[in-house]
C-alpha cells in the first residue's frame, strides 16, 4: 500500500514525470492537442495515477502535485503552445483548488498565463456537486477559464449537471466505449447524439481502441477522441514528433 508520505518523498526526489496523450480531431484525423498525464517512476516500476491520486485527494499534496505538473508542462511544451495555432493542452486539477488563486499564481509563475486560451482544466464530474458548487464553476467559465468535465457516462445525472452549468467541453469515460462491440448503437450513443444536436458541446471520447468504436462515435457526432487507436501517451519529445508527423501528412 502506497502512503502519502511516500508520494511526497517521490515528488521531492524528482521521481514524477509527464506523458502526453494526443487528442485527435475526427473531421481531419489530425492531432490538435494533448492531455498531460502524471506518472511516478518508482524502483519497482512506473505507477499510474489511478494508484496514487485517490490517496492524496482533499490533501495539500493534491495541490502541490498539480502545481508541479503546471511547471513541468511549461518547461516541456510552452514553446509548442506559443508557436502552434489552434492547439490545446489539458491538465487535470482537483476541483477543490479551483477559485482559490493557486492555479492563477502557478500559471503566471510558469509562463502559461500567456497561453491560457490554449489550456483546458479537466475536473471529474463526481467532484462537482460537493466540492465545487455550480455557481463557482460558472464564474470560472465567465472569467475565460476553459473547463472540461471528465469521466462523463451520459446518464440522466450527468445530463442534468451539463444542463445546469456553463461547461462546454465533456470527456466520455473510456468504460462507456466497452458497450460498443456488437455493431449496434447503444442507448447512451443515442442520448449523446441527441445532446450534440441540441447543444454546442465539444465532446472528447477517451479510450478509443478499435475502428468500430471510432465509427460509432463519428456517427454520433463526437468531434475529438483519444486512445491507442491513434497513439498511446508519449513523453514530450515523442509527442512533438507525433504532432509534427500528423501536421506534415
pLDDT 10s digit of each residue in the chain, 249 long? 888 899 999 999 999 999 999 999 999 889 999 999 999 999 999 999 999 998 988 888 988 999 999 999 999 999 999 999 999 999 998 877 766 666 776 777 787 888 888 999 888 756 554 445 566 666 666 766 788 888 887 766 666 666 666 678 889 888 888 777 655 556 778 778 887 887 888 999 999 999 999 998 998 899 999 999 999 999 999 999 999 998 765
Q: Does a structural domain hold residue 182?
A: yes
Residue 130 maps to a domain: yes
Characterize 89-104 residue by residue with b for buried, 16 or more Cβ atoms within 10 angstroms of its Cβ, and e for exposed: bbbbbbbbbbbeebbe
Is 192 a domain residue? yes
Does 249 fall in a domain? no
Computed over every residue of the chain, the mean pLDDT equals: 84
Looking at the 3D structure of the chain, how many domains does it have?
Answer: 1
Helix axis angle for 236-247 and 60-83, nearest 10°, is: 40
pLDDT at position 130 is 45
Residue 131 lies in a domain: yes
Give the helix, strand, coil percentages of the chain, each rounded to 5: 50, 20, 30
Alpha carbon of 240 to those of 40, 136, 161, 221: distances in Å?
21, 35, 35, 28
Is 168 domain-assigned?
yes
pLDDT at 15: 97
> What pLDDT was estimated at residue 52?
93
Can you give the pTM of this predicted structure? 0.90
- Does residue 107 fall inside a structural domain? yes
| Nearest to 97, CA basis, from 50, 141, 54, 132 | 132
Domain assignment present for residue 210? The answer is yes
Secondary structure of residue 10 in the 3-state scheme: helix
Q: Which CATH number does the domain housing residue 84 bear? A: 3.20.20.450
Residue numbers of the domain that contains 118: 4-244
Amino acid at each position: 500500500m502506497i502512503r502519502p508520505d511516500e508520494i511526497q518523498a517521490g515528488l521531492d526526489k524528482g521521481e514524477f514525470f509527464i506523458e502526453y496523450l494526443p487528442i485527435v480531431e475526427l473531421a481531419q484525423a489530425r492531432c490538435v492537442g494533448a492531455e498531460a498525464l502524471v506518472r511516478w517512476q518508482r524502483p519497482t516500476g512506473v505507477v499510474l495515477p489511478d494508484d496514487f491520486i485517490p490517496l492524496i485527494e482533499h490533501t495539500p499534496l493534491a495541490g502541490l502535485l498539480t502545481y508541479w505538473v503546471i511547471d513541468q508542462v511549461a518547461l516541456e511544451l510552452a514553446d509548442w503552445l506559443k508557436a502552434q495555432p489552434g492547439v490545446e493542452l489539458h491538465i487535470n486539477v482537483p476541483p477543490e483548488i479551483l477559485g482559490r488563486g493557486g492555479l492563477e499564481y502557478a500559471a503566471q509563475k510558469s509562463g502559461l498565463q500567456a497561453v491560457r486560451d490554449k489550456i483546458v482544466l479537466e475536473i471529474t464530474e463526481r467532484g462537482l456537486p460537493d466540492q465545487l458548487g455550480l455557481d463557482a464553476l460558472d464564474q470560472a467559465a465567465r472569467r475565460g477559464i476553459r473547463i472540461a468535465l471528465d469521466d462523463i457516462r451520459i446518464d440522466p445525472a450527468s445530463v442534468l449537471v451539463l444542463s445546469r452549468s456553463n461547461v462546454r467541453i465533456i470527456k466520455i469515460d473510456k468504460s462507456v466505449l466497452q458497450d460498443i462491440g456488437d455493431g449496434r448503437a447503444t442507448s447512451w450513443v443515442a442520448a449523446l447524439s441527441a445532446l450534440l444536436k441540441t447543444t454546442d458541446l465539444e465532446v472528447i471520447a477517451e479510450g478509443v481502441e478499435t475502428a468500430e468504436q471510432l465509427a460509432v462515435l463519428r456517427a454520433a457526432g463526437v468531434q475529438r477522441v483519444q486512445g491507442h487507436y491513434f497513439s498511446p501517451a508519449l513523453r514530450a519529445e515523442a509527442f512533438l514528433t507525433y504532432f509534427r508527423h500528423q501536421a506534415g501528412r
